[in-house]
Amino acid sequence: MAVLEQVYATDQARSLIKELKEEHGDLIFHQSGGCCDGSSPMCLKEGMMIIGDVDMQLGEIEGVPFYMNHKQYEYWKHTQITLDVVKGIGGMFSVEGPRGVRFHIRSEPIE
């Protein structure tokens, strides 16, 4: 699986990822396609979700791979994705939820 290096993170997101790795061990990100958790980036314990041939790895943040379904990627392929943290309740499966914050993405066109 090719890594595209199309996802970046703010310092706040990197800091939270480090904390979550210490607490939960190995993690993955999967950009939700709108099912259970809207279109939120979900941070999951490795093994909670099966990554298959339909998923693309867009990069790694603090050693945590970031995946997206290849069909959804068709809508995002012209953008640079930045992972950030905002106050609020995240996806019910995402491990940052109990902290009162959630991961959030912002995107900008790739020039």
Residue 97: per-residue pLDDT: 85
Domains by residue range for the chain, with CATH = 7-109 (2.60.300)
Burial of 26 (0-12, 13-18, 19+ CB in 10 A): exposed
Average pLDDT of span 36-56: 85
For residues 51 and 67, the answer to whether their CB atoms sit within 8 Å is yes
**DSSP designation for 40:** P
Would you say the pTM of this structure is higher than 0.95?
no
Lookup result for tokens 């950009």: 31
Q: Residue 18, SS3? A: helix
Residue 34: per-residue pLDDT: 60
Q: Which residue has the higher pLDDT, 110 or 51?
A: 51
Tell me what percent of the residues of the chain surpass a pLDDT of 70: 87
- pLDDT at residue 46 tops 90: yes
